[in-house]
Structure formats: C-alpha cells, structure tokens
Amino acid sequence: MYQKSLFVSGFFVLALTFYQCHTSQSFLYSDIPQSADTLKFASEVHLKNMRQLTFGGDNAEAYFSFDSKKLVFQATNPAWGTTCDQIYFFDLPTWKSTPMAPPLLSTGHGRTTCSFFMPGNKTIVYASTHEANASCPHVPDKRSDGKYVWPIYDSFDIYLSDLDGKIIKKLTDEPGYDAEATVSPKGDKIVFTSMRSGDLELYTMNIDGSNVKQVTHELGYDGGAFFSPDGTKLIFRASRPSTPEAIAEYKSLLKEGLVMPTNMELFMCNVDGSDLKQITKLGKANWAPFFHPSGKKVIFSSNHASSRGYQFNLYMINIDGTGLEQITFDKTFDAFPMFSYDGKKLVFSSNRNNHGTRDTNLFIADWVE
C-alpha cells in the first residue's frame, strides 16, 4: 500500500505509478463497448472476462468487502473534485461507470490512503492527514540527484469510518506516520506500518485499536502487509539497506520524511513476527503482495524484468520462493492485486486501455487456475 501504501498506499503515501500524477478528462472512452476479453493480453491465461471499472484519473488500492460484493479504493480525479487521493466505494453488482463520482467515504480534506473493509462490510479503515491540514500535503520536489522518493507524511493516522463517511473512531494517535492498514480475514486484527519506533516497522492491533504489538524490527521500510487466508501469516514488502552507504542514505531520507522505494523485496512472517523469511530476491521493486486463496502462493507487482523502471507487471510465486510465474503482460503498469474472499475474482490497477493518457484505472477479472 503505498502502499501509498506504497503505499501508493499504499503505497505511502503510495505513488500510483513511478511518475507524477496528472489531470485528464474522465470518461472520454467509458462508452466504448468491451467485448469478452478485449482488455486482456493473450498471454494472460489466468484472467478472463476482464472488465474496466473506472475511466479516468488515478485509481488504486481497490479492496474487496468480506462478502466480495463491494470495493473500496483511493482516487485522485479532478472530474470528481479531488486533487489528491480520497476514499470511495461502490457495490460491484450494480456499479456502472458514469461521470458522477461514486460515494465519498473520506472527509475530502488532506490526503488519504490504504482503505480496507472491516468485518460486517459496513465500516472501513483508512489513513488520512486531514486533522493536520485540510489541504493536500506537499509533494516532494524533483530531487537534484534524480532519485525517486515517496513522502512518508507524519500526519497520517488511521481512522474507522462507516459507509456514510462518518468517522466512528480514530484508531492511532501516536506522533509520526501510521498508515497502510489491512484487516485479517479472521476479522480480529489489523496490521499497519508505523514510525513510532523511529523506523518504518509493521505493527498489529485489535480491530478496536487496542493491544498494539510490534511485528518487525530490522532497519528498512516494512510496509504494504496483508494477512494469509487463515490469518496466521503476513506478506509484505521491505527495503533492507545493508551497506554503510545504503544505511546512511536510508536514515538521511527518513529524517526528511522520505523513502526511496526502488529496491524492495517480499518477506513473510508469522503474525507475531516469528519465522521471518525473504520470499523474493529479484532485484528492483517488488511490492503490493497478496496471498493466493490457497495460502501457498503470493501475487505481487514487480519491475525486475523491465529495462524501464516504470514498467510493472503482476507475478506469482510460491511462498518458498520457487515457481515464479508472470501473470500480466502490460507494457506500462499493473499493480495492487487482490483476490476476492471467495477466490473467484482478481481486482487490480492498470494503465492499460488509457488511450495514451497516464490514467490508472481499476480492472476486475475472473481468476482461472
């Protein structure tokens, strides 16, 4: 999640692509008929009946409700009156793209990221900066050294909201970054990323915000975590600076409220942090992981095979690090995958079918084993 979570979310705040967001006219091509699988590439054999859900702006981190009938997501879309990410949702069975924005769940102030449904499908959690400032927070200027960075806003906190947009409870209230929250399929715990230790580590808490426990302890950015289907394990992305130069750079950027997400690998551990294992050793940026319904594989986004840093595709790998398989074959950007709880659908964000713009839209497809 950033992300952006990377998180965008994540994400984070998560960037949606490895270039800056943009403005565009929304729904210019939403009325184009989508016949069966004209949106997918022939090599994408695990996907069928693909459907585009949004048409314009930057849409990402779409996550299913527990009954797999709703999606909550973050979007920046000037046509909807949003200049930085806000949280929206819609019911999948009845959703039809129109020029009207779907229901807004966040306050419309500040920047938000990493929303996720709670048990019962009537409330969500998300992170927001709105209490610190109603305006969108500053986006870092392009660096003179050319390095790509994400801002880690210290004003992010995690909130519980109903589907009318009413904040029910503030779940975190510590100084520094708290964001990238996701919920266990068991419905008992939330995992999130926090700076409260002085580094970006994973924590868990009960769904009411109590019983906060630190999960990871190694230097580096640990984020974008998701639970396994049985709720016993966590999959997440992490940077692990190891040389004196890399460590110094990481710490220096962190003091500025920044991270450099260009070198991340996937790690897995038990919910309490034990049995920590590195799953990928691919190089470049490997992130946005989510467990396959079997719990034995992980789907994720990566640019490890790309000669251009911004070309990301979805891959799947066994949790022991074997059996790497490419899932999508886009020429630009595919990320933020999530399987529905019944295992029948995959939702993800993509720059495909954007007609030469930089729009990042939501897509959903049937999953084929």
- The position carrying tokens 């949280």 is 87
Q: Any idea which of 35-39, 124-128, 210-214, 230-234 has the lowest mean pLDDT?
A: 35-39
CA 248 to chain centre: 27
Confidence of residue 4 (pLDDT cuts 50, 70, 90): very low
Give the whole-angstrom CA distance, residue 323 versus residue 260. 28
The domain of 62 spans 57-350
Task: Tell me the range of 16-20, 140-144, 315-319 where mean pLDDT is highest.
Answer: 315-319
What pLDDT, on the 0 to 100 scale, is given for residue 253?
A: 96
Q: Do residues 195 and 152 touch, judged by C-beta distance below 8 A?
A: yes
Is residue 8 predicted with pLDDT exceeding 60?
A: no
Q: Is residue 17 part of a domain?
A: no
Q: Is residue 18 part of a domain?
A: no
34-53 tens-digit pLDDT: 556 899 999 999 999 999 99
43-90 tens-digit pLDDT: 999 999 999 999 999 999 999 999 999 999 999 999 999 999 999 999
- The position carrying tokens 């962190």 is 254
Q: Identify the CA nearest to 143 among candidates 151, 134, 155, 133.
A: 151
Q: Identify the CA nearest to 337 among candidates 304, 296, 280, 293.
A: 293
Q: Do residues 266 and 304 touch, judged by C-beta distance below 8 A?
A: no
- For all residues of the chain together, what is the average pLDDT? 90
CATH code of residue 321: 2.120.10.30
261-308 tens-digit pLDDT: 999 999 999 999 999 999 999 999 999 999 999 999 999 999 999 987
Distances in Å between the Cα of 13 and the Cα atoms of 24, 47, 122, 190 are 21, 29, 25, 18
Can you give the C-alpha Rg of the chain in angstroms? 18
Q: Is residue 264 part of a domain?
A: yes
Give the count of beta carbons closer than 10 Å to the beta carbon of residue 274. Answer: 8
Is residue 191 predicted with pLDDT exceeding 50?
A: yes
- Count of domains for the chain: 1
Give the whole-angstrom CA distance, residue 7 versus residue 5. 2
Contacts of 273 (CB under 8 A, 6+ apart): 202, 214, 215, 216, 217
Q: Do residues 182 and 191 touch, judged by C-beta distance below 8 A?
A: yes
Give the whole-angstrom CA distance, residue 110 versus residue 85. 8
Q: Is residue 355 part of a domain?
A: no
Amino acid identity, residue 275? D
303-359 tens-digit pLDDT: 999 987 789 999 999 999 999 999 999 999 999 999 999 999 999 999 999 998 999
Give me the percent of the chain exceeding a pLDDT of 90: 85
Contacts of 36 (CB under 8 A, 6+ apart): 48, 49
Q: Is residue 5 part of a domain?
A: no
Q: Is residue 46 part of a domain?
A: no
User: What is the reported pTM?
Assistant: 0.91
Q: Is residue 190 part of a domain?
A: yes
Give me the percent of the chain exceeding a pLDDT of 70: 90
What pLDDT, on the 0 to 100 scale, is given for residue 254?
A: 96
